[in-house]
Amino acid sequence: MSVYEYVTKGTCSRKITVELDGKTIKKVEFEGGCNGNLKGIAKLVAGLDMDFVISRFAGNTCNNRTTSCPDQLAQALQEAYAAQKEG
């Protein structure tokens, strides 16, 4: 298992911590942002394959922004998996 911290860009949340076991998401924690919604997202993705989550969340926007917390989670998952493969 590996834990990865991702500093978000362009969202109300400031940081996402992801715990992976291979490609399975074990745990996600958001710092900042819409607390209730992000806790719900974290519970929904726990136990899922990261590729499935990325396919659903990548490219989602929030209001007039070019990204969103779910999009940032997709980016965090991609970076976390790349770091896991290197390490």
pLDDT tens digits for 53-62? 999 999 999 9
- Architecture field, domain 2-86: 2-Layer Sandwich (3.30)
Tell me the average pLDDT across 8-15. 97
Instruction: Please give the DSSP secondary-structure letter assigned to residue 49.
Output: B
Q: Is the pLDDT of residue 1 over 90?
A: no
pLDDT tens digits for 15-53? 999 999 999 999 999 999 999 999 999 999 999 999 999
CA 21 to CA 81: how far, in whole Å?
10
Q: Is the pLDDT of residue 87 over 70?
A: no
Contacts 24+ apart (CB under 8 A), 53-58: 53/25, 53/77, 54/78
- Residue ranges of domains in the chain: 2-86
CA 34 to CA 40: how far, in whole Å?
10
Backbone φ and ψ of 81, nearest 5°: -65, -40
